[in-house]
Amino acid sequence: MLNAMVALSIIVIVVGVYFSVRKKINSVKVNNISNLLHRLRPETLRELILLLLILLVVIFFSIVIDHYLNARLFNRVSTSVAIIGILAIGQALVVLTRNIDLSVGAVVGFTAYFVGQQLSQNNEMTPLVAICMAIGIGALMGSFNGFLVAFCRIPAIIVTLGTMALFRTLLVEYSDAQTVLTVNLPQWLLELPRINVVSYEGLHFRLVVAVMCVVVILFHLILRYTSFGRKIYAVGSNPEAAANSGFQSRKIIFITFVMCGALAGLTGFMYLARFGNITVVAGSGLELKSVAAVVVGGINIFGGSGSIFGATLGAVMIDLLENSLIRWLQISEFWRDAMLGMLILCSVATDSVVMKRFRKYRLKKITQKEEKL
């Protein structure tokens, strides 16, 4: 009986000490988490959450799909992301200014077909000339959108819906129901998607992926460290205040549309190099994917906040899901677009509810810190 009472007393003491220590640890953890959240920018938090979601997606599909994790998955997804990633960067620039470009898919298709036809007729054309041609055509189409939106003050969604149909019709008329065939293209273009920068045991870091990384870093530096990048955020965050500060808002919006078109042209060239056979439906659906990548990547659809890295992670998420769902036979093909739509809705809801509260919480902490000082 005495031994039982002693044992019971020891258990009570141990439990009491455990909960006391746990309370102190939780208090420290709460303070540390509070300080960490105070220091984190909303965009950084969103990117960390997206990285976690990408990891969870990989874990989930590795469980439900046999032999899911292999070198082919990395090679396939990275090559696909190289195309949608560059297009998403252009879309991100436009969305940051409170606009949207729904014509990017048609620009990609027209550029891919036009450049492909020129290369078919002239195999001696150099890669530099072909790339400059693609970027130039895309920039020209983007400037048309930018002029109507910035200087004619027509809503971007109306303009780009119209030009999406216009550019697609131009492609149909220009193609005359003909197809650009792989057999007519120069050999260097067909080999381009398979050129590796680094290879290790079946994992290939391809040249097209390296090009995307260069574009990502370049535009990240432009947005983060240049006055033009800060003006883009200012115009998207508060157009009236930006105009009162002397910013040339129309010019900035026009330039973002031109850059979006130029990046869509570059995407068209990469699309041509990857697929070879180009028809009048080339690039269809890429506008939805680019918007999804931007929104899922944490760029506010109402402009003014977000990052290029976030848009790139959004592109990775979209392509990873698409490639994984193709291999998951239990899911119908018709549900893939539905899941893409659900991702967009969830991302917008998260941005408008969770991230909005986090921004208010962070602003409150910053204000309290300034008052103490």
pLDDT greater at residue 352 or residue 220: 220
* Residue 28 domain-assigned (yes or no): no
Greatest mean pLDDT among 126-140, 280-294, 324-338, 341-355 lies in 126-140
Tokens of 358: 């986090």
Report, as an integer, the average pLDDT of 292-321: 88
Q: What is the pTM of this model?
A: 0.83
Report, as an integer, the average pLDDT of 276-296: 90
Residue type, 119: L
pLDDT greater at residue 97 or residue 355: 97
Q: What is the CATH number of the domain that holds 107?
A: 1.10.3470
pLDDT number for residue 290? 93
* Residue 49 domain-assigned (yes or no): yes
How does the average pLDDT of the chain come out, rounded? 83
Write the Ramachandran bin of 112: left for phi over 0, alpha for psi from -120 to 50, otherwise beta. Answer: alpha
Residue type, 251: K
Tell me the angle at which helices 227-237 and 249-275 cross, rounded to the nearest 10 degrees.
110
Model confidence at 365, pLDDT cuts 50, 70, 90, reads low
* Residue 13 domain-assigned (yes or no): no
* Residue 18 domain-assigned (yes or no): no
* Residue 1 domain-assigned (yes or no): no
* Residue 284 domain-assigned (yes or no): yes
pLDDT number for residue 212? 94
Model confidence at 226, pLDDT cuts 50, 70, 90, reads very high
Tell me the angle at which helices 335-372 and 2-39 cross, rounded to the nearest 10 degrees.
90
Structure confidence by residue, pLDDT tens digits, 229-267: 999 999 988 888 887 888 888 999 999 999 999 999 999
* Residue 21 domain-assigned (yes or no): no
pLDDT greater at residue 79 or residue 34: 79
Has residue 28 got a pLDDT over 60? no
pLDDT greater at residue 13 or residue 266: 266
| Structural domain for 225, as ranges | 42-372
* Residue 173 domain-assigned (yes or no): yes
- Number of independent structural domains in the chain: 1
Structure confidence by residue, pLDDT tens digits, 81-105: 999 999 999 999 999 999 999 999 9
